Structure 1
Amino acid sequence: MTERWFLAIWPDTQTRSALERQLAALGPLPGRPTHPLDWHVTLIFLGALEPERLACIDAAAGDAATRATSFFMELDRIGHFARSQVLWCGPARTPESLARLVTDLQAHLTRCGIAPERRPYRPHLTLARKVRTAPGLELHRPIGWTAHELVLAHGVTGERPRYRIRHRYPLP
């Protein structure tokens, strides 16, 4: 498998632990659960990249991050994407600062030959894959999360956790 790159926000230890506790209280997740250390919210999926394009993306992400701000988000919903068979957790409302960051990243990435996604952005954290039907799970209470950094990451085949962070960009 070719390395698949993406820009994301990664939950801090406190956020991840709070989500782990709430999910444990719900019982085993259906399908193939995502390793908790792999939990993240993808902002832009990049796919396979050649080294020169990766350098351009690294610079573009750094530029976008310097113009962004840290932001607060509440993970308050568990949902299901039927077509992709993904069980997810995310915010009922996308924070304006997150939406601006994604839009700014898309604009910066056009100079690297990355076309903006046509579908509307829906932030979510993948809890499990291969989930055929919505299990009807709900969080007991919202989990607050302040995102302080953007990351450039990629997947590694055959390992768990499978994602590796290559670069971190602080959000002022």
Structure 2
Amino acid sequence: MSERWFFALWPDEAVRDAVAARIPALLPVGARATHPSDLHLTLAFLGPLASDVLGCAERAADRIRAAAFDLEIDRVGHFARARVLWCAPASPPDALPALVADLQEQLSTCGLAADPRPYRPHITLARKAAAAPVSEWPTPIRWSVRELVLAAGYGGPGPRYRVRRRWTLI
């Protein structure tokens, strides 16, 4: 299987552990939990890339001048069609969609088109998950976002993702 590239926000150890600790209580019967090391919030999915396009995508990220920001992960829900259990910020700060838009604009110079669907920030907690209602977490998880990463997905057991490169947000 070829690498599937994506840009994402990668939680630090404290945020990752806090999210991972909540998964067992939320996990529907038969669902497959995300490996804790694979928890992330995707900004732009790129898919398989030729080496020249991958290099262009890295140069595109070099041009990003986004400010660091804070996220509050405070809700959990389910994408029925994809059978995905997720957590997310109920009210993402303006900096998040601005970062996604800037990244998409820069990636367009590489011939990489933005996903036409509206951006829905989330962290995948489990796959093959039966329906679960959207609800708020009584205690939010606070995440100080200080970098974006370029990562690739590989087949096989978790962890399935590897970070290739990191960019510091200013």
Give the TM-score category using the shorter length.
Answer: over 0.9
Distance 2:106 2:26 in 1: 42
State the match for 1:41 in structure 2: 41
State the match for 2:59 in structure 1: 59
State the match for 1:121 in structure 2: 119
1:109 and 2:84 correspond: no
Distance 1:100 1:133 in 2: 31
Q: Percent identity?
A: 51
- Aligned to 1:141, the other structure's residue is in SS state strand
State the match for 2:9 in structure 1: 9
> TM-score normalized by structure 1?
0.92
Distance 2:137 2:20 in 1: 11
- Aligned to 2:117, the other structure's residue is in SS state coil
1:22 and 2:22 correspond: yes
> TM-score normalized by structure 2?
0.93
138, 151, 154: which one pairs with 2:152? 154
Residue 54 of structure 1 and its aligned partner are, at CA, apart by: 0.2
72, 89, 92: which one pairs with 2:87? 89
Residue 124 of structure 1 and its aligned partner are, at CA, apart by: 0.1
State the match for 1:80 in structure 2: 78
Opposite residue 11 of structure 1, the aligned amino acid is: P
Conserved? CA contact 1:42–1:123, under 8 Å: yes
Distance 1:40 1:114 in 2: 21
Conserved? CA contact 1:94–1:122, under 8 Å: no
Conserved? CA contact 2:23–2:125, under 8 Å: no
Query: Would you say how many aligned residue pairs link Structure 1 and Structure 2?
Result: 169
- Structure 1 unaligned segments of length 5 or more: list them: none
Conserved? CA contact 2:28–2:130, under 8 Å: no
Conserved? CA contact 1:153–1:163, under 8 Å: yes
Q: Residues 92, 34 of structure 1: CA spacing in aligned structure 2 closer, same or farther, 3 A cutoff?
A: same
Q: Residues 116, 136 of structure 1: CA spacing in aligned structure 2 closer, same or farther, 3 A cutoff?
A: closer
Kindly report the root-mean-square deviation, in angstroms, between the aligned alpha carbons of the 2 structures. Answer: 1.5
State the match for 1:141 in structure 2: 139
Higher helix share: 1
- Aligned to 2:166, the other structure's residue is in SS state strand
